[in-house]
Amino acid sequence: MLGVLDAPNNRRLLVDPMCKVHSYLLAVQENSDPDFLNLYYTAMFQVIAEQKDWKTGERVVDEAFRYIPNTHQKVLWEAKMNFLSKLGKNVLSAISNMKESNASLMAKVWVRLARSSQVELEQHQAYNKAIEILRKEESIEVVEVLIEYAEWQHRHQYNAQDVEDQLMLAVDLLMDIEPAGWDDDDEDMAAGQDDDQKTRKTGKTSSSRQSKALTRKSKGGKSIKQSIAGKTSKTKVSKASMRSKSLKTAGSRQSKKTTTSLSKRSEEDANPLYLNCSHYDKLVRIHSMLAMLAMDSTKQREYALDAHYFIMKMWEQSFISLNATLFFEKHAGALLDLGFKANDPQSRREYFGEVLTSNEI
């Protein structure tokens, strides 16, 4: 189908056939493959929008809401917003009617509205609404919205301090992602005091101490390698406690939902246990913007060095991930005996977390 959609004339001819397929799917309430539905309706709304058949688009969206799972309704809300806007209807009122349980979905739709709206006040309100929703859920996804909002403010010539405030808030939220207990190390805290005087509100000091702590500590007091050798009960207790903590954190903010391969690729972990390459990438972008906004050369150099530091951390994290993967492959049998499941994200997170805190990897 994707190849057929490449030609404009094909897209024009596909409107009626795709609407018929939609009516068949609606009649039998077929939603066993939500990933297929997501891709299908994305293509369908594209061809409808290209023909500017806004009324048909609004009708199809409202009907699709009746049977597509809540977890895959993002494409529907985005299309509904677009069609309502083209028909001159109240977009803000429609989005406000979304279920509050889908915080991530709501935020993404507000961001989509901010991107598509031609009214500056509406864009401003949409960004702030998305940030408010994600902050309430304590989701790390808010960082990407804060960066985009800061870029928007800069383009619209807002005060430089307002732009910087958004970026600094994003840094603070990212630097809250750290292993429990690393900041209790007196030696690391003493070493970090001098660094705090050299960097202003950046994550460099925190990341440096985190890196040191990760190479010296193990959450359960045992590394995976030691567990494999002795299969100690202490490791099993550590693993169970880690699982309990992770599930409690995730479960308190997320309702039960259908998880598919497509949704896994498109979703960000709202409550990560460790900084990953995606987070370091955001920190690089933030500090690059801060360097651009800085008025004096000293601050510019300071922020640029911080950005360079986080680039190096991305490389370091990549090699850690590679080493963890190789370690799992080498000890696949023993890890399986300990309860490790390669296709279970929670299981992978637990063992990867223990690898991160092991000196032997």
- Residues 213-253 pLDDT 10s: 333 333 333 343 444 344 333 333 343 444 344 444 444 44
Burial per residue of 61-94, b for 16 or more beta-carbon CB atoms within 10 angstroms, e otherwise? beebeeebebbbbbbbbbbbbbbbbbeeeebeeb
Provide the whole-model pTM.
Answer: 0.64
pLDDT > 90: percent of the chain = 30
Cα-trace Rg, the chain: 24
CA pair distance 348, 351, nearest whole angstrom: 5
pLDDT band at 27 (very low <50, low <70, confident <90, very high): very high
> For the packed helices 15-28 and 54-64, what is the interaxial angle rounded to 10 degrees?
20
**CA torsion sign, 36 to 41 to 42 to 44?**
positive
pLDDT band at 360 (very low <50, low <70, confident <90, very high): low
CA distances (Å), 64 to each of 12, 19, 43, 114, in order?
Answer: 21, 11, 14, 24
Q: Which residues contact 7 (CB under 8 A, 6 or more apart)?
A: none
Nearest Cα to 152, choosing from 169, 174, 127, 173? 127
Higher pLDDT pick, 254 / 89: 89
Domains of the chain, each with CATH number or no CATH: 4-175 (1.25.40), 182-356 (no CATH)
Q: Specify which of 125-134, 188-197, 332-341 reaches the highest per-range mean pLDDT.
A: 125-134
What pLDDT shows up at residue 247?
40
Alpha-carbon dihedral 252, 254, 257, 259, rounded to 10 degrees? -110
CA pair distance 139, 269, nearest whole angstrom: 8
